[in-house]
Amino acid sequence: MRVVIVDDAEAAACRAAQEIAALVRQKPDAVLGLATGGTPVRCYRELIRLHQHDGLDFAAVRSFNLDEYLGLPADHPQSYRRFMQENLFDHLNIPCEQTHVPDGMASDIDAFCQQYEQQIQAAGGIDLQLLGIGSDGHIAFNEPGSSLASRTRLKSLAAETVRDNARFFGSEADVPKLAITMGVGTIMESKQCLLLATGANKATAVREAIEGAVTARVTASALQMHPHTIAVLDAPAAAQLEFADYYREAERLNESVRNTPAH
């Protein structure tokens, strides 16, 4: 896992956006896996800026979101479809039919989950999957104890996740307790994973995910086994990493090699 530590959340968001933008420029029809929550909002703002001011073209891009609350229609104020429209899609030139978010109102959940997996495969797989991390170390809604081989499915939310998300709903009682989520196994099939984490409240989860044991108790730890994962962290999120100085030095050396002109 490549670990990039920057000073603050804004710098982390810009770095993550640069990784996504580089892929889109290299492969205009890239398939992006996208995330919701507070962490990626700054990253999405930077992608919007790159589109509107630098001409970054999303016309051929296809996207698949990680998850959606069960029982929330697409136009619900707290649905992840609504979140993506307001925070990204409405500001880009990506056709709506090329964006995919799990259907929280699906009548046959098992059939929908199987179809979602098939749609990802039909698109050629996800080129880059953007991920946040929960305070308990989960990715998507793969709560502690989730199988590291899991596929898209219905998942019950842990109490800690409900508490963390209550700020978006007003109270814990209003937070849905079930969600449709990509599985860890689905995420691990992405060609590249980009973990974005900011804030001191994520420091313990980041430490366990990056330097702890690979375990279903911390589903983000599975990313240690992925051949192409980059973790972009601000300094507070990286504060508990034992090898933080090594990561900084390794990235400095890597950048020096990349920036050295070929002879």
N-to-C CA span, the chain: 29
Amino acid, res. 45: R
Q: Is 143 a catalytic residue?
A: yes
Q: Is 103 a catalytic residue?
A: no
Q: Is 117 a catalytic residue?
A: no
Q: What are 247's two structure tokens?
A: 């990561």
Q: In what order do the strands lie in the sheet with 67-69?
A: 67-69, 178-181, 153-156
Q: What is the CA radius of gyration of the chain?
A: 18
Given the residues 103, 138, 164, 226, the one annotated as active site: 138
Conformation bin of residue 37: beta by default, left when phi > 0, alpha when psi is -120 to 50: left
Given the residues 127, 136, 208, 234, the one annotated as active site: 136
3-state secondary structure of 62: strand
Given the residues 46, 51, 67, 117, the one annotated as active site: 67
Given the residues 68, 103, 127, 143, the one annotated as active site: 143
**Separation of alpha carbons 173 and 151, rounded Å:** 28
Q: Is 8 a catalytic residue?
A: no
Q: Catalytic positions, please? A: 67, 136, 138, 143
